[in-house]
Structure 1
Amino acid sequence: MENCTENDVRQNDTAQTIWLFQLTVYIPVLILGIPLNVIAFWVFCCKLKRWTETRVYLINLMVADSFLLFALPFLIYFTSYNHPIDNLCFTIQNIYFANMPMSILIITLIAIDRYIAIKFPLKSNILQSPLKSASICGFLWIVLIIYSYLRQKFHKAKENFCFRKESTEPNYLTLFSIIFGFIIPLGIVIFCSVQVIKCLKKKMATSPHETKLIQKAIHIVSVNLCVFVVCFSPFYITLLLRFAVDIAGACSLLSEVRASVWICACLANSNCCLDAVCYYFAAKEFQEFPSLFTTFISMRSKTKQSQESQPPTEQVMI
């Protein structure tokens, strides 16, 4: 394996460039993200009267995004200096590495929730409930907090500085988080979103109002899918590249891949601000989607009653 040592001047120049890029991205994210999340918290906890599964998920998503926003100033400071892994660093790393996966998993749950509500509206009342959603979120919080703690213990034993991986020893926990924390959720989100869009396009609207609701629902699902893919895919791809570089011992690529990870992390972390922008559309969805689901259920019930009243030959033709 090559001797993975970098020229100090080159390393300092790269670190300075990354720091400036972080400031360029994170300052607007903090300026916009903090008030938007405060407003979202007020709307979802105080203004909305009806508890739904989506409301539970979005409150948890808002909490995860808020914790991520809290960690960003520390992230900027720790990555600008060779800060040792002390208690403060350990705490911030736990917050950071628990809340980004939590955001991804909650977005995945929202996609599944929509898929069940649109694809199986007659069974959605049995399969879904706010209590079940809260239980799932609670379980995920516990699992991710434990995982983050174990990850930081491993990092503390192998590394010297906060939020930095200086060694070239492959971290298999990173591979685990890529597969179960992004690749599988990405597949689920894409599948559910595509199926929901297909199902919505097949619905026969009986009025201009219903047509407008269907078009708005398709738009919301499409935008959420694009934001998810654009924000998180580059970061996890570069993490996978870093793992491959460590496995292959390709030290000539180490500096470039390391810089790419930090740059793509800025895009992934900005999702906590973009989520807040989507809260408005989600709030509208609370008011409008129930009537849409009711229409779908009514349509399916009428179809079922019509089939049962027809002779067997006509049922087969349908």
Structure 2
Amino acid sequence: MDCFNKSGVQDSSLQLLNLAVSIPLLVLGLFCNSIALWVFCCKLKKLTETTVFMVNLVISDIMILLTFPFRIYAFSDTWNLGSETCKTLLLMYFINTYMSIFSITAIAVDRYIAIKHPLKFRTWRSPAKAAYTCCALWFLFIATGVFRILQSRDFTLTTCFQKVTTEPFNMALVFVLVGFTVPLIIISYCSGEVLMLLRKKNASDTFEKKAVRKAFNIIMANLVVFVVCFLPVHVGYTVRFITESLNATCHTWEKVNFYTHVATLVANSNCVLDSVCYFFAAHEFWKATIL
């Protein structure tokens, strides 16, 4: 079943939506993440485990943002920058998307251990070990991505950042289960435990109560942003895989594919929201827990 020529993936509504969302995200994202990176690397006097993970998160978000100009071009005209360029950009996009997700997961786990079990797992935490964890994740994701590209068929691409066949993409299930569902469970558990601890904390004065309330709200905001940004696109991957596996009609495939494109734009907004949420969390959270 060939639905691409009928579906008009590059229709005017999708082009306008991509421009309207990607350009502001690119500008705001580079601005916010550059400031966050400068603060974390140049202004903070002490490097902590959380700071290492946050720097890693900012770097991965910046790498995602650098693919946006090519995404804008891909939706505006026929792709003529070569198949290898497209494959490299897709590799860069997906590696850094899931590096971003796993960096957020690492921050949640580190925060949980530091507050819930500060003595029991004290030897597990250090800036060096956090850096080793980040390096291991980079190696794993890059090796997996390169292996996937080497195994892919050699064909000429006339589009990029768009799925143009109805052949099921088996890696979609890996993205959904390993890349999103497992981190979601871990983040939800760790955030829930920390939120319960903050709720039970006996604040002695107004200032302390205010700090605890801010920390509580920030943890909630982090969790909500993660779910809102990444849940829709992974639902899209799942539904599209099922649709393609069942050989659904072109009309159904078109609707699901369009939804997945829109959900991807929502996921991309995480590049801006990360720097805002975690920049404030770095200060407010620790301020509340040490009082």
TM-score (norm 1): 0.84
Which residue among 58, 63, 68 is the counterpart of 1:62? 58
**In 2, Cα distance between the equivalents of 1:232 and 1:6?**
26
Counterpart in the other structure of 2:183: 185
Which residue among 5, 22, 40 is the counterpart of 1:26? 22
**In 1, Cα distance between the equivalents of 2:144 and 2:96?**
11
The AA in structure 2 aligned to 1:57 is F
Counterpart in the other structure of 1:273: 272
Counterpart in the other structure of 1:142: 139
* Residues 64 and 96 in structure 2, CA contact (< 8 A), matched pair in contact too: yes
- SS of 1:122's partner is coil
| 2:60 matches 1:75 | no
* Residues 102 and 141 in structure 1, CA contact (< 8 A), matched pair in contact too: yes
**In 2, Cα distance between the equivalents of 1:7 and 1:50?**
56
**In 2, Cα distance between the equivalents of 1:168 and 1:7?**
12
* Residues 79-158 of structure 1: pairs in structure 2 closer than 5 A: 79-83=75-79, 85-157=82-154
Deviates more, 1:274-283 or 1:99-108: 274-283
Report the Cα offset of residue 162 of structure 1: 2.5
Report the Cα offset of residue 116 of structure 1: 1.1
* Residues 243 and 253 in structure 2, CA contact (< 8 A), matched pair in contact too: yes
Q: 1:53 to 1:286 in 2, by over 3 A?
A: farther
- SS of 2:86's partner is helix
**In 1, Cα distance between the equivalents of 2:254 and 2:150?**
25
**In 2, Cα distance between the equivalents of 1:7 and 1:141?**
37
Report the Cα offset of residue 166 of structure 1: 2.2
**In 2, Cα distance between the equivalents of 1:209 and 1:125?**
29
* 1:31-65 Cα shifts (integer Å, max 9, x gaps): 21111111111101000011111100000000001
The AA in structure 2 aligned to 1:215 is R
* Residues 235 and 261 in structure 1, CA contact (< 8 A), matched pair in contact too: yes
Deviates more, 1:154-163 or 1:59-68: 154-163
Equivalent pairs, count: 288
The AA in structure 1 aligned to 2:277 is C
Unaligned runs of 5+ in 1: 296-318
* Residues 306-317 of structure 1: pairs in structure 2 closer than 5 A: none
Unaligned runs of 5+ in 2: none
Q: 1:286 to 1:191 in 2, by over 3 A?
A: closer
The AA in structure 1 aligned to 2:71 is L
Counterpart in the other structure of 1:303: none
**In 2, Cα distance between the equivalents of 1:261 and 1:204?**
45
**In 1, Cα distance between the equivalents of 2:155 and 2:238?**
19
Counterpart in the other structure of 1:316: none
| 2:243 matches 1:231 | no
Report the Cα offset of residue 159 of structure 1: 7.5
**In 2, Cα distance between the equivalents of 1:6 and 1:62?**
35
**In 1, Cα distance between the equivalents of 2:76 and 2:181?**
30
Deviates more, 1:124-133 or 1:134-143: 124-133
